[in-house]
Amino acid sequence: MSLRLSGFIALPGGERTGFDHADTYLEPTGSRLYVAHTATNAVDVIDCRSNSYLRSLSDLPGVAGVLIDSGRDLLFASDRSAARVSVFRCSDETLLAQIDVGPRPNGLAFDTRRRHLYSFNLGEPPGTGCSASVVAVDERRVVRTIGLPGRPRWAVFDRSSDQVHVAIQSPAVILAIDAGLLMESSSIDVGAEGPHGLALVDGRLFCAADGRELVVVDERVANGRRILKRLPLRGAPDAVMHDQRRNRLYVAVGSPGIVTVFDTERLEEVETVETEDGAHTIGWDPATAQLYAFAPQRGGALVFMEGV
């Protein structure tokens, strides 16, 4: 299997723009990719079947995080410059609520059991007074604020352990929050500078760290050896995307502009493909087996098709 460049989608804002998180909405009739276009204060929408730009969800100041739950028909966005999160019904993109959270919200995680949205806030100035705001989505209010030991980055909810995991830049740890008690429950020392991208795969956490390592952690181990493997990267990474069907993890490295692909079963590198300098945001569509790398210099998305 290999990634093959198959196209390019121009997005509003033109060349030399900026993107952040992306996620995919899946429905019986097809799929749509949503990406935070921070430079235009909007979330851009791409039709994954035709690989065409559809429209933008506007008036989202400094939008950074995008998280979708297709089964519950929800789209969340963290509006960093407005210190709030926006909640949409994803199927028709209706805005349902905008809720004030902590300063400079960034990464997001969704507790599907309790319908709690976790907004991980960078603080003001960034790195000072970092926190997690726990939003009761149905009540449209913050029900708990949890202090963090450092600047948060990516986060995931693990339904099997009933925990939210968040990568903390410094100290270099993966912090676990008990989703029932709404408090810190444990901390895993990553042993690599700047934990960033985070994915949960069959009880293992794949953490892409600034120290040019992909660190594989068994979060199910309470004591003893948790670090399963350290895999080298060619630069400081950002976004990671998981293809469950093919057991692939895609890691974006902005400089140099590349995506490195790993086999999540054999824990080894499969291939590396070139994107563009500064392309640190990627999105994955399982319905069409396409990877999207957002190219800031060209102002759009490079489309890669996964081979069979």
What per-residue confidence (pLDDT) applies to 221?
Answer: 65
**What does the pLDDT read at residue 220?**
72
What is the pLDDT at residue 224?
Answer: 54
The residues that bridge with 293 in the sheet, in sequence order, are 282, 302
| CA distance linking residue 167 with residue 177, whole number of Å | 11
CATH among 3.40.50.300, 3.40.50.9100, 2.60.120.260, 2.130.10.10 for 18-246: 2.130.10.10
User: Using alpha carbons only, how large is the chain's radius of gyration in Å?
Assistant: 18
Q: What amino acid is encoded at 187 in this protein? A: S
pLDDT value of position 1: 57
Q: In what order do the strands lie in the sheet with 42-47?
A: 22-27, 30-37, 42-47, 52-57
Contact 162, 113 (CB under 8 A): yes
Pairing of strands 42-47, 30-37: antiparallel
CA 64 to chain centre: 10
Q: Are strands 213-218 and 204-209 parallel, antiparallel or unpaired?
A: antiparallel
Amino acid letter, 257: G
- Tell me what pLDDT residue 289 has: 96
pLDDT at 44: 98
pTM of the shown model: 0.96
Q: Who's near 92: CB < 8 A, 6+ residues apart?
A: none
Nearest-CA neighbor of 298 among 257, 245, 253, 243? 257
Q: What pLDDT is attached to residue 86?
A: 98
For the segment 121-140, what is each residue's pLDDT rounded down to a tens digit?
999 999 999 999 999 999 99
pLDDT of residue 39: 93
What pLDDT does 128 receive? Answer: 96
Q: How far apart are CA 163 and CA 21, in angstroms?
A: 22
Q: Which residues of the chain have pLDDT under 50?
A: none
